[in-house]
Amino acid sequence: MLIRTIREEERDLYNQIVAHPLQAWEWGEFRKKTGVEVERLGFFQGEKLIKGLQATFHSIPIINKKVGYLPKGFTPDEDQISAIKQLAKKHNALFIKIEPNILQKAATSPRFTQLTQLLEESGATRGRSLFTRYTFQLDLTKPEDELFENLHKKTRYNVNLAHKKGVKIYENSTQEGMEQYIQILEETKSRQGFYAHTPDYFRKIWQSMGDSGMVRIFNAVYQDTIIVSWIMFLFNDVLYYPYGASRNLHRNVMASNLMMWEMIRFGKEEGCRIFDMWGSLGPEPDPNNPWFGFHRFKKGYGGELMEAIGTYDVVMNKPMYQLYSLGEKWRWKWLRLKTRLPF
User: Tens digits of per-residue pLDDT, 32-75?
Assistant: 999 999 999 999 999 999 999 999 999 988 788 999 999 999 99
Kind and range of the H or E run holding 257: helix 255-269
| 186 vs 176: CA distance, rounded Å | 16
Q: Which of 216, 214, 206, 297 is nearest to 254 (CA)?
A: 297
Q: Is 236 left (phi over 0), alpha (psi -120 to 50) or beta?
A: left
pLDDT tens track for 257-302 = 999 999 999 999 999 999 999 999 999 999 999 999 999 999 999 9
pLDDT tens track for 219-242 = 999 999 999 999 999 999 999 999
Angle between helices 113-121 and 78-90 (to 10 degrees): 40
| 147 vs 74: CA distance, rounded Å | 30
Query: What value does the mean pLDDT take over residues 111-134?
Result: 91
Sequence-ordered list of residues with C-beta below 8 angstroms from that of 18, at least 6 positions apart, any chain: 24, 52, 53, 54, 74, 236
Residue spans of the domains in the chain: they are 2-131+310-338, 136-306
Query: What value does the mean pLDDT take over residues 200-226?
Result: 97
Query: What value does the mean pLDDT take over residues 20-32?
Result: 98
Highest mean pLDDT of the ranges 99-113, 117-131, 225-239: 225-239
pLDDT (0 to 100) of residue 63: 82
Topology agreement, domain 2-131+310-338 and domain 136-306: yes
| C-alpha angle 294-272-157 in degrees, rounded to nearest 5 | 40
Q: Which of 7, 61, 35, 14 is nearest to 204 (CA)?
A: 35
Cα atoms in the 13 Å half-sphere on the side-chain side of 22: 18
CATH of region 2-131+310-338: 3.40.630.30
Portion of the chain with pLDDT greater than 70, in percent: 94
Q: Is 134 left (phi over 0), alpha (psi -120 to 50) or beta?
A: beta
Lowest mean pLDDT: which of 30-44, 72-86, 140-154, 322-336?
322-336
Q: Which CATH architecture has domain 136-306?
A: 3-Layer(aba) Sandwich (3.40)
Q: Which of 220, 241, 217 is nearest to 162 (CA)?
A: 220
